[in-house]
Amino acid sequence: MKKMKAALMYGPGDIRYEQVERPCCPEGGFLLKVKAVGLCGSDIRNLLTDSKAGRYPHIYGHEIVGEIVEIDENVTKYQRGQMVYVYPMAHCLRCENCRNGKHECCTEAESYTDLQGGFAEYIAYSATRVERGAIFEVPEGREPIAATLAEPLSSTYACMENIQVSLGDSVVIIGAGPIGVFLAILARIRGASKVIVIDKNADRLALMEAFNVDHRIDSSKEDPVEKVKEYTNGHGAHKVISANPSIEAQQQSIFMARKCGIVVFFGGVAKNQLTPIDTNAVHYNNLWIYGHYGANSIQVEKSFHLSLSDQFPAEKIISHVLPLADINQAIELTREGKALKVVLLPEEEYKIHSLLKSQK
């Protein structure tokens, strides 16, 4: 049996880079050699909690770009040697929600967190995965590392499109992590006249300076509601997006929106925690509150192309490219706010990438 290196989770915070059996090419599917895999906030949450309820070891990682190295002879849609990005959620395209265009609410979707993930040198994709698609070829000459941003970009792109951020809007984003950055960039692309970002981490707020936001509010030092009102002439923002796991942020977001404004709960909070909300403020100010998760299939495809376009500053977002062996360091850098977005590369690919960068 062939071997590979992978980052295995043995329990909360117990992640070990070690050798395991390499997966085989499944019937009707293909085997991908991972070239790059992004470290997502949900990955960090899963890796640091008892997310598998004792069912260990497990391999996470879902922001995956790689090369098809083995493929079933009956698969004709893809070829060996193709560089592809694989969207993690395999929508069935047949259930009622999918047929209504709400693929993100697919009732028959494969749960990718139950399968082996991409924090490894290789990952296998099944016949079901191949049949359902959402697999996109990275054009020759485009950086595969940048394509790892397509997955988190898809959800933020869908959010901006669904709430129709448009020319002249004022937009508040609570959370200066990678998702907050994506939202800020997209708000500007869609014509927002004012973009305000709030966080309690000064290091993360400092990183936002590179993304053309109008105001940065440190909520550990200032009242964010008062500052938003100040920056919007006392009215509040047209759109307010709580993109973090904070109950307090969700509570405050209601008071940052102007009358007839829209509030989005983008970030999930910890399980079994409830957010008390002033429903009178919602009622009398005629606010619309949305929960947001995922993206439909068309939004997924558009986001992939945007992630590789010159319009999207991938090089500013990816602050660290590290070998997969350094996944624990990557987690700490992200948690401390010292890294904006980390992309991990299997050891061999990391050496190749570093060599190319040193020759520039």
Q: Is the pLDDT of residue 359 over 50?
A: no
Mean predicted confidence (pLDDT) in 301-317 = 93
How confident is the model at residue 338, as a pLDDT? 87
Instruction: Supply the pLDDT for residue 269.
Output: 84
> Average per-residue pLDDT in the chain?
93
pLDDT at 360 over 60: no
CA separation for the pair 90, 295 (Å, rounded):
12
Candidate from 95-99, 132-136, 213-217 with smallest mean pLDDT:
132-136
Question: Residue range 103-123: average pLDDT?
Answer: 90
- At 188 the pLDDT is 95
Query: What value does the mean pLDDT take over residues 131-142?
Result: 91
pLDDT at 158 (0 to 100): 97
Which pLDDT score is estimated for 259? 98
Query: How confident is the model over 211-240, as a mean pLDDT?
Result: 97
The pLDDT assigned to 298 comes to 93
d(CA 151, CA 158): 11
Kindly state the percentage of the chain with pLDDT values over 70. Answer: 98
More confident residue, 355 or 283: 283
CA–chain centroid gap for 124, Å, is: 21
Instruction: Give the tens place of pLDDT for each residue, 42-75.
Output: 899 999 999 999 899 999 999 999 999 999 999 9
| Strand pairing category for 3-11 and 14-21 | antiparallel
- 8 Å CB contact between 9 and 327: no
pLDDT at position 98: 93
Give per-residue pLDDT as tens, 70-93: 999 999 999 999 999 999 998 998
Choice among 14-18, 227-231, 267-271, 319-323 with the minimum mean pLDDT: 267-271
- Name the more confident of 240 and 142: 240
* pTM reported for the whole predicted model: 0.91
- Is 90 exceeded by the pLDDT of residue 354? no
Q: What is the mean pLDDT of residues 104-118?
A: 88
Looking at per-residue pLDDT, the higher value among 177 and 238 belongs to 238
229 falls in which pLDDT band (50, 70, 90)?
Answer: very high
pLDDT attached to residue 126: 92
- The pLDDT of 185-190, averaged and rounded, is 96
Q: Give the pLDDT confidence score for residue 81 in this predicted structure.
A: 95
